[in-house]
């Protein structure tokens, strides 16, 4: 495919996404229908689509329309490229610009439009970040670095760096956690490496690794990952100490890959149904990596930025409070309740912890930390509460 044909395809796929279909579904459907597209074409189209999703408001402003075509015209203008050079109407490229398109578009207004945020989200960001809101929003408009977590129970960062380099994959030490490596070349091939097959690393954001490193665990403790999902944090905890590790999720199907991931990493994990937890309790440590807005990770999952609503956020706040209450009941005396979100909003972070401490006796806050994308990883919040 020519560069212009890839952009024309991205515009069509963006229209499907704007009509409500999930981006991954749209991209997979297109790849299946388009056998002529090679892996480089698929990667380029995907990158165009995700770039546009990250910057949807500002590109629509610049391009003059919230349509697939408006977005890619805005994308060209934002990059300082004259859209006439892309929209030539030749071959499989997009049709030439109309006079209306030539004159449409305006520079994005400062604030939510230039920051590529929904209007209702902007006060949440400014409350949490003050003047950093503008810089954080700007960072979220760009692709995320690729980080891996070294499985230090099997290898070291130095050895893994050498081993990956031998397979043509280049890494440098990442931020926030000694286990984090940033992949600077060859990221798309990571999961087909020998080192991956041997469990020497997992894909995990650097801030997520820092959160796992902050959970106080020691050899011999019983630890419950209450919202385990795919088990990224379960495995990171299991690599730090010899634990009696239990993983739970209200949607157990989300943990379906965890047994094979744990085997690869050389870590023992017991998967538990909700009904079994009372019998397995008490645990020395319970981690709640709760469902949240995902606002700290919007550069990785930009669709979430536009699909989140105030109603959904209110619903999430209720779920988070309920999880804290349920999980607290499973913690042993003097044990730890760890709470984490990949959100930047105070409502999901410090407000939740303050409200929990107000309504529940017998707990004290030991540590809390907020990470923003300005520190290199996703935005995260972590709080560690101890039963007294």
Ligand X SMILES: C[S@@+](CC[C@H](N)C(=O)[O-])C[C@H]1O[C@@H](n2cnc3c(N)ncnc32)[C@H](O)[C@@H]1O
Q: What is the DSSP string of 266-304?
A: T---EE--GGGHHHH--EEEEEEE-----GGGTTTSTHH
Find out whether 249 is annotated in a ligand binding site: yes
Would you count residue 228 as binding ligand X (CB under 6 A)?
A: yes
Find out whether 289 is annotated in a ligand binding site: yes
Min dist. Cβ of residue 65 to ligand X (A): 35
Residue with Cβ nearer ligand X (250 or 374): 250
272: how many CB neighbours lie within 10 A of its CB? 20
Would you count residue 229 as binding ligand X (CB under 6 A)?
A: yes
Min dist. Cβ of residue 275 to ligand X (A): 13
Taking CB under 6 A as the criterion, the residue among 93, 232, 238, 335 binding ligand X is 232
Q: Of 55, 212, 342, 384, which residue is the catalytic one?
A: 342
And the tokens for 39? 């892996």
Q: With CA atoms as reference, report the closest residue to 54 among 242, 260, 284, 304.
A: 304
259 neighbors 230 (Cβ within 8 angstroms): no
**Does the active-site annotation cover 342?**
yes
Q: Report the distance separating Cα 263 and Cα 211, nearest Å.
A: 23
Tokens 């009904």, located at residue:
275
Burial class for 212, CB neighbours closer than 10 Å (0-12, 13-18, 19+): buried
Q: Which range, of 155-163, 230-238, 295-303, 379-387, touches ligand X by CB under 6 A?
A: 230-238
Would you count residue 251 as binding ligand X (CB under 6 A)?
A: yes
Taking CB under 6 A as the criterion, the residue among 101, 289, 303, 348 binding ligand X is 289
153 neighbors 94 (Cβ within 8 angstroms): no
Q: Which range, of 98-106, 171-179, 247-255, 259-267, touches ligand X by CB under 6 A?
A: 247-255
Taking CB under 6 A as the criterion, the residue among 189, 242, 254, 387 binding ligand X is 254
And the tokens for 22? 């999930």
65: how many CB neighbours lie within 10 A of its CB? 17
Would you count residue 66 as binding ligand X (CB under 6 A)?
A: no
Q: Report the distance separating Cα 176 and Cα 205, nearest Å.
A: 10
Contact characters 177-216, ligand X, x per CB under 6 A: ----------------------------------------
Q: Report the distance separating Cα 66 and Cα 236, nearest Å.
A: 41
Number of residues located near ligand X, criterion CB under 6 A:
16
286: how many CB neighbours lie within 10 A of its CB? 30
Taking CB under 6 A as the criterion, the residue among 230, 266, 282, 304 binding ligand X is 230
Residue with Cβ nearer ligand X (254 or 387): 254
Would you count residue 291 as binding ligand X (CB under 6 A)?
A: yes
Tokens 């990158």, located at residue:
47
- Measured CA to CA in angstroms, residue 77 lies from 58, 72, 164, 195 at distances of 10, 9, 38, 42
Residue with Cβ nearer ligand X (1 or 150): 150
Would you count residue 278 as binding ligand X (CB under 6 A)?
A: no
- Binding site as annotated, residues for S-adenosyl-L-methionine: 249, 289
Which residues are identified as catalytic? 342
- Binding site as annotated, residues: 249, 289
Chain residues in the site for ligand X (CB under 6 A): 226-233, 249-251, 254, 289, 291, 319, 323
């Amino acid at each position: 495919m020519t560069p212009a044909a890839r952009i024309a395809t991205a515009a069509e796929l963006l229209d499907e996404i704007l009509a409500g279909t999930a981006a991954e579904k749209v991209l997979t459907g297109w790849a299946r229908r388009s056998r002529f597209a090679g892996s480089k074409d698929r990667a380029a189209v995907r990158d165009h689509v995700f770039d546009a999703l990250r910057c949807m408001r500002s590109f629509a402003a610049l391009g003059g329309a919230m349509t697939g075509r408006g977005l890619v015209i805005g994308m060209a203008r934002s990059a300082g490229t004259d859209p006439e050079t892309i929209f030539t109407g030749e071959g499989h490229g997009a049709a030439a610009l109309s006079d209306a398109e030539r004159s449409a578009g305006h520079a994005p207004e400062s604030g939510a439009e230039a920051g590529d945020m929904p209007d209702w989200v902007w006060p949440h960001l400014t409350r949490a970040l003050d003047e950093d809101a503008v810089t954080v929003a700007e960072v979220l408009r760009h692709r995320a670095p690729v980080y891996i977590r070294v499985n230090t129970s099997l290898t070291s960062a130095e050895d893994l760096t050498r081993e990956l380099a031998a397979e043509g994959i280049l890494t440098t030490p990442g931020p926030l956690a000694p286990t984090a490596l940033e992949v600077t070349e060859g990221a798309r091939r990571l999961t087909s490496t020998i080192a991956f097959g041997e469990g020497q690393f997992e894909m995990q954001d650097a801030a997520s690794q820092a959160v796992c490193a902050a959970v106080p665990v020691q050899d011999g403790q019983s630890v419950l990952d209450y919202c385990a999902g795919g088990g990224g944090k379960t495995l990171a905890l299991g690599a730090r100490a010899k634990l009696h590790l239990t993983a739970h999720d209200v949607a157990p199907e989300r943990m379906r890959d965890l047994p094979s991931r744990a085997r690869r990493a050389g870590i023992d994990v017991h998967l538990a149904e909700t009904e079994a937890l009372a019998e397995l309790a008490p645990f020395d440590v319970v981690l709640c990596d709760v469902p949240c807005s995902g606002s700290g990770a919007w550069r990785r999952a930009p669709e979430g930025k536009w699909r989140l609503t105030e109603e959904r956020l209110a619903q999430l706040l209720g779920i988070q409070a309920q999880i804290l209450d349920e999980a607290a009941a499973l913690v042993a005396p003097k044990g730890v309740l760890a709470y984490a979100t990949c959100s930047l909003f105070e409502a999901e972070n410090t407000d939740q912890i303050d409200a929990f401490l107000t309504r529940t006796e017998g707990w004290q806050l030991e540590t809390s930390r907020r990470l923003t994308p300005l520190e290199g990883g996703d935005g995260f919040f972590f709080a560690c509460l101890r039963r007294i």
